[in-house]
Amino acid sequence: MKVSDIINSLDLELLCGQSGIENEITGGYVSDLLSDVMGNAKEGQVWITLQTHKNVMAIASLKDLAAVILVKGFNPDEDTVKQSNQEGVPILRAKENTFEIAGKLFQLL
Amino acid sequence: MHFEFEIEAGDFSKLGFASSQLKTILKQLLGDHKVIRRVVVALYESEVNVVAHAYSGKVIIDINTEKIEIEIDDKGPGIEDIQLAMEEGYSTASEKVREMGFGAGMGLANIKNNSDEFYISSEVGVGTNLKIIAYLK
Ligand SMILES: Nc1ncnc2c1ncn2[C@@H]1O[C@H](COP(=O)(O)OP(=O)(O)OP(=O)(O)O)[C@@H](O)[C@H]1O
Ligand SMILES: [Mg+2]
């Protein structure tokens, strides 16, 4: 499954990082603790979080994650958007909270 | 090959510069090598610790055909009990740092898990020194 597939299936809003929408998805990871993601997320996973600052994209890029889903309609910071575009790691916005969107993604994968 | 980077403490907007540079350099040298993700994770967590806990720091990287060696040296408060600091979950991070999602107390453990050799020394009131070694084979 690709990032573009989950955008359609889960009705997510593609905010930035368009060049990464063909990234292949291997799974998902849910955490708002950055060093937890650093230690435990795996390449190709989609990271669901409520953190909106730029370091999210640094971590997503260093770990080669497929995409980041921001929950509850949150807005990424301006420099977060910039880095998402530079690195080609898409940020997708969900209306749902973490529990709901993680459940939907889990079922889809 | 030899590289050096300065780290400014307290400035979360520049955080990750050295690790992102290292990733680019290693990709050019090694292509798609599994050592790359390990050392950039270890360096990123070290950068976070300088920014979150120290006053200023320096990263020194040496790469040869056998191994990648990274030293992170900071001026800062130092660590009184290194064994305790290494425990997962122990953190003295400030409220501001925690709000950003740092301060889980997992950084030093991540560094250790992502290096082949890891050395830490610290002097209270002076600073902390980390050495990370990862072998290419
Ligand atoms: N460079 C440093 N200078 C001073 N103290 C440090 C330094 N690095 C780590 N420490 C101390 O060791 C503790 C544990 O560090 P560790 O990186 O494991 O967790 P953390 O930085 O608190 O949180 P996390 O890394 O999960 O965001 C820190 O809270 C701090 O008290
Ligand atoms: Mg840390």
CA A96 to chain centre: 14
CATH superfamily of A3-108: HprK N-terminal domain-like (3.40.1390.20)
Predicted TM-score (pTM) of the model is 0.95
- Any idea where the domains of chain A sit in the sequence? 3-108
Cα–Cα–Cα angle for B33, B35, B39, nearest 5°?
135
Check if B47 contacts A (Cβ < 8 Å). Answer: no
- pLDDT tens per residue, range B42-65: 999 999 999 999 999 999 999 999
Q: Quote the ipTM score.
A: 0.90
Ligand 1: distance of its center to the CA of A54 in Å? 20
- On chain A, the residues whose CB falls within 8 A of the CB of B101 are 32-34, 49, 51, 55
Q: Which fold does the domain B2-135 belong to in CATH?
A: Heat Shock Protein 90 (3.30.565)
Residue B41 CB neighbour total at 10 angstroms = 23
d(CA B109, CA B46): 11
Closest CA to A43 of A58, A57, A29, A31: A29
B13 touches chain A (CB under 8 A): yes
> Are the beta carbons of B16 and A58 separated by less than 8 Å?
yes
The stretch B81-110 carries a mean pLDDT of 96
The three-state secondary structure class of B5 is: strand
pLDDT tens digits, residue range A74-107?
Answer: 999 999 999 999 999 999 999 999 999 999 999 9
SS3 B124: coil
